[in-house]
Structure 1
Amino acid sequence: MENGRRYHAYKEGTYYLPNDEDESFRLGLQHHTYTLTYDGELYLCPAGRDQPVSRVLDCGTGTGLWAIDFGLELADENPEATVIGVDLSPTQPPLLLLIKVLLAHSVPPNVSFYVDDLEENWIYTTPFDFVHARMLTGALKSWPRLFEQSYENLVPGGWLEVSDITLPVRCDDDTFREDSDLAKWSGLMLEASHILDSPLDSAYSYQKQLQDAGFINVVERRFKWPHNHWPKARKYKEIGDGVSGLSLALFTRGLGWTAEDVEIFLAGVRKDMKDVRMHTYYCVITVYGQKPYDTDPLSQTETGSSPPPEPQPDE
């Protein structure tokens, strides 16, 4: 327990978001928000659309909602397909908790979960067709290492997709006051994340890092997650309801604040987030890329198909 919140015990202190019931509920809302962002889809890359998918890795699976939903989709198409979810915390939810977050699923038999550290050497003996990583900002010290290990553990033609929220807070007009608590919070969060060597602006480098790791057909897409109900589009209004992103650990561990001082400060931040006169949002960045076909996979498994045409950005 820390500041009244529960955090992971395995590799304690590595990640600054809690793993208690409140966080599980937030992750449920986050999963719903992504579904809205992707217009009902679970992911953006061509995996499973250009060739069959039989083995999938979900990095930083959290409550496992993405892995469960993907596993249910796979079960209809390929009963032998498997999804593996890996996280520092064993927070995969029972049915009761899933009902609480309005996502009442049980874990399908083709989905399994493991507690592990993604920054350690991966020891998988069979390569994956698709590696998925979402909202791991702040969880890793070396993103290039994750991309390199993903590349090494993919079959030729396999896909990696990674997506993260970013700071600083953005605004496309002059409604964001520089003296607001929200602006101060944005700067302090970013400062603290760099102090803890887990920067919250890392996603801006993903596209180049995937290319440096050897991926081809790399595509980057950017989305807006508004803080309140200022957007006219109904989808974006609902997205704003599911985003908070506040973290006690960044301020207490990174900046040395007391929990009491943080809560006092956050009262003003929450007020600003609800102020529809400020058209602020988070920039969410999704990047995906493909392992070339002219490479050998981890287990020398052949895909048995020719390369698909190069995908084009759809926005």
Structure 2
Amino acid sequence: MAGASSGAGRDTDSGYAESFAWRSSRTVSVNQDASLLSWGSGSAPSLPSVDNESQADTMSISESLRSSTASINSSLYHFIQENGRTYHRYKEGRYFLPNDAEEQERLDLQHQLFIIAIGNKLNIAPIPDNPPRVLDIATGTGIWAIEFAIQHPRSEVIGTDLSPIQPEFLPENCRFEIDDAEDEWVYSEPFDFIHGRALMSCFNDPAAVVRQAFANLAPGGVLEFQDALFPMNYIGEPPRESALYRWNEKMLEGVARLGRSWSNAQNYHRYFEEAGFEDIVEKRFYWPTSPWAKGLYFKTVATYFQEDMLMGLEGVSLKVLAGLGMSPEEVREFAEEVKKDFKDTSIHAYLTVTYIYGKKPNRTTAR
């Protein structure tokens, strides 16, 4: 899985109505009974358990997902070409993933994965119906910010990213800015809700980003992060000889050589506490790599997660594994092996994903 911090521009000639019709169709791309996707009275699903019965019932989920996937036209601007992919030009190299049409489509699919995992919601934090000012950092294609603006028409929603990839035609209460959330924040007014998602690939110092978010929230304002805890885990003995296991290990080594860590999400609770947040709530969810797990909830999430990774595996691997001396051809060949493991229901791997939020104290003396 990868973050949503960069991209290339979309073709907006089709107009406002068609743009929103497409986005709306993506939010209901799988026919689903909400009660079957719930996890009971608990705060989150328990660890998935292996389904030893036929996988035939997952076919309708998979086919529904694939038939709903729309192609995205793009006009590539503000980009760098490398290994047949495009990357952001502003602060070139800050973000590892490409920003072409293929990656944009994956990011919008990943958006559905994040909201389906929590019952078709954009956030888990308890917030007012229309928080006056909302900020979405590393907004990617802008789909979260746009949907939030539509659902909260009296909120002012700002999305920031390294690349100008967002649509031209937007709700009147939504706008986007090119910005790096690790730079000093210079907003003239505080926010009431700040959201960040899939930030694993984005920041050198996520604790500093949390501190800046705290400083730029109004008293009582809320920060919510939604992110992955990398590497993946397994039910039973890890398949150490598999390409999937080796990919996880190589990616950890590669990002370390690039001066980053993809394990920062395990520290989010501490970062929130140290920044001064209170009433911190963290919930963890589990995304199987294939429909090996029991239950419609896990099979649906697995279908989306698998498609997300099949679409993005090459893109997320090219720059990172190049740091280990692998050529683009070697990376692509290795990625094909890993994709086979994502489809292998005998490999019981899953990704842990954390949704965490905290509130800035109402006391005006809070730091």
TM over 0.5: yes
Partner in structure 2 of residue 182 of structure 1: 244
Over 3 Å counting, the alpha-carbon distance change for 1:296 and 1:61 in structure 2 is farther
**1:48 lines up with 2:128 in the alignment:** yes
Q: Could you tell me how far 1:256 is from its partner in structure 2?
A: 2.3
**1:218 lines up with 2:280 in the alignment:** yes
Partner in structure 1 of residue 28 of structure 2: none
State which of 259, 267, 284 in structure 1 corresponds to 2:336. 267
Q: C-alpha root-mean-square deviation of aligned residues, in Å?
A: 1.6
**1:124 lines up with 2:187 in the alignment:** yes
Partner in structure 1 of residue 293 of structure 2: 231
State which of 156, 162, 165 in structure 2 corresponds to 1:88. 162
- Structure 1 segment 1-315 matched on structure 2, within 5 A: 1-48=81-128, 52-75=130-153, 78=154, 81-93=155-167, 107-174=170-237, 176-243=238-305, 244=309, 245-246=312-313, 247=316, 248-252=318-322, 254-295=323-364
Report percent identity of matched pairs.
40
Q: For 2:138 and 2:125, how far apart are their aligned partners in 1? A: 18
Aligned partner of residue 56 in structure 1, secondary structure: strand
Q: Deviations over 1:221-276 (max 9, x none)?
A: 11111111112222322322333052111111x22211000011111111111100
Q: Could you tell me how far 1:277 is from its partner in structure 2?
A: 0.8
Q: For 1:152 and 1:46, how far apart are their aligned partners in 2? A: 20
1:207 partner letter: H
Q: For 2:284 and 2:232, how far apart are their aligned partners in 1? A: 14
2:257 partner letter: I
Q: For 2:235 and 2:346, how far apart are their aligned partners in 1? A: 13
Q: Could you tell me how far 1:117 is from its partner in structure 2?
A: 1.0
Q: How many residue pairs were aligned?
A: 279
Over 3 Å counting, the alpha-carbon distance change for 1:148 and 1:186 in structure 2 is same
Question: Contact conserved, 1:68 with 1:107, CA < 8 A, in 2?
Answer: yes
2:279 partner letter: N
Give 5+ residue unaligned stretches, structure 1: 95-105, 299-315
Question: Contact conserved, 2:136 with 2:160, CA < 8 A, in 1?
Answer: yes
2:249 partner letter: G
Aligned partner of residue 14 in structure 1, secondary structure: coil
Give 5+ residue unaligned stretches, structure 2: 1-80
Aligned partner of residue 230 in structure 1, secondary structure: coil
2:328 partner letter: A
Aligned partner of residue 119 in structure 1, secondary structure: coil
Question: Contact conserved, 1:132 with 1:162, CA < 8 A, in 2?
Answer: yes
2:134 partner letter: V
Question: Contact conserved, 1:225 with 1:284, CA < 8 A, in 2?
Answer: yes
Of 30-39 and 288-297, deviating more is 288-297
Q: For 1:260 and 1:205, how far apart are their aligned partners in 2? A: 35
Q: For 2:365 and 2:161, how far apart are their aligned partners in 1? A: 27
1:279 partner letter: H
Of 279-288 and 5-14, deviating more is 279-288
Q: For 1:72 and 1:166, how far apart are their aligned partners in 2? A: 30
Question: Contact conserved, 2:276 with 2:366, CA < 8 A, in 1?
Answer: no
Q: For 1:195 and 1:45, how far apart are their aligned partners in 2? A: 35
TM-score by length of 2: 0.73
Q: Could you tell me how far 1:281 is from its partner in structure 2?
A: 0.9
Over 3 Å counting, the alpha-carbon distance change for 1:297 and 1:214 in structure 2 is closer
Q: Could you tell me how far 1:296 is from its partner in structure 2?
A: 5.4
Q: Could you tell me how far 1:297 is from its partner in structure 2?
A: 8.6
Q: Deviations over 1:116-164 (max 9, x none)?
A: 1111111101000000000111211111110111000000000000111
Aligned partner of residue 325 in structure 2, secondary structure: coil
Q: For 1:218 and 1:194, how far apart are their aligned partners in 2? A: 29
Of 134-143 and 235-244, deviating more is 235-244
Aligned partner of residue 22 in structure 1, secondary structure: helix
Q: For 2:301 and 2:220, how far apart are their aligned partners in 1? A: 33
